[in-house]
Amino acid sequence: MKHSSGILSFCVFMLLIVLSADARLAAPSSAPRAPARTPSFEDVKILVVYYSLTGKTEKMAEAVAEGAREVPGVVVLTKRVEDVTKEDLPATDGIVLGSPVYYANMAGPMKSFIDGWGLRFNVYLGDKVGGAFATGGERTGGKQHVVVSLILAMMNNGMIIVGPTHRQGNVRFGTFGVSAQTAPPDAGIGESELSEARKPGMRVASVARRLKPGADEK
């Protein structure tokens, strides 16, 4: 359960944030950075994990992290899929996964990371909150199948799933995730895509905060 991580893994989490060169606690350096603060027990911790070869999915991951940080009391850790450690997973309250499309599914390294939940990390992610995003060059190449696949993987480890929500005039609705087209006719990752990517970050963080005992009272 989410409380089982305890002080030890929390300290590891802190250390990671403070020391690790791979860990990215905050906004990309070009973005305005939130004032440094010391995470506390009650902080809601969101982990954004992505695979990226060309940097497009990484840009989206950073926007997801930005969205999560907009929720008060939330700290965000953004990691490449190969950098995630055994300690990162139990310490988190919410996880957002992102991958490019390779043959209508997530990239192999993301799939191997997920398999590692059982094979390497032996971790149960029950009641943590999850969301997903994908990038791809083709209009019908499988971006949405990537999002669905990431959702199903998280559900099979007991997670609670949310997508971003939207408002158009008086109409409110949701989507099951975010997918960005990275090749023509779309112009690639621009402000429109980044703005969409902030939403699942915000939603995952917000629902994780509501579900975390003690987090609402701050």
Residues that bind a second copy (CB under 8 A): 102-108, 111-112, 114-115, 117-118, 124, 126-127, 138-145, 147-149, 151-153, 155-163, 165, 171-181, 185-186, 192, 196, 207, 210-211
**What CA–CA distance (Å, rounded) separates 71 from 201?**
9
β pairing state of 105-106 and 171-174: unpaired
CB of 126 to a second copy, least distance (A): 6
CB of 72 to a second copy, least distance (A): 17
**What CA–CA distance (Å, rounded) separates 92 from 182?**
30
β pairing state of 105-106 and 94-102: antiparallel
- What is 122-156 written as a DSSP string? ----TT-EEEEEEEESSTTSSHHHHHHHHHHHHHT
Of the pair 25, 51, the CB lying nearest a second copy is at: 51
Of the pair 19, 171, the CB lying nearest a second copy is at: 171
CB of 33 to a second copy, least distance (A): 29
User: Amino acid identity of 85?
Assistant: T
CB of 44 to a second copy, least distance (A): 15
Question: What are the distances in angstroms from CA 47 to CA 63, 64, 96?
Answer: 13, 10, 6
**What CA–CA distance (Å, rounded) separates 80 from 203?**
21
Of the pair 34, 161, the CB lying nearest a second copy is at: 161
Of the pair 34, 148, the CB lying nearest a second copy is at: 148
Token reading at 151? 């959702």
Of the pair 34, 183, the CB lying nearest a second copy is at: 183
CB of 35 to a second copy, least distance (A): 30
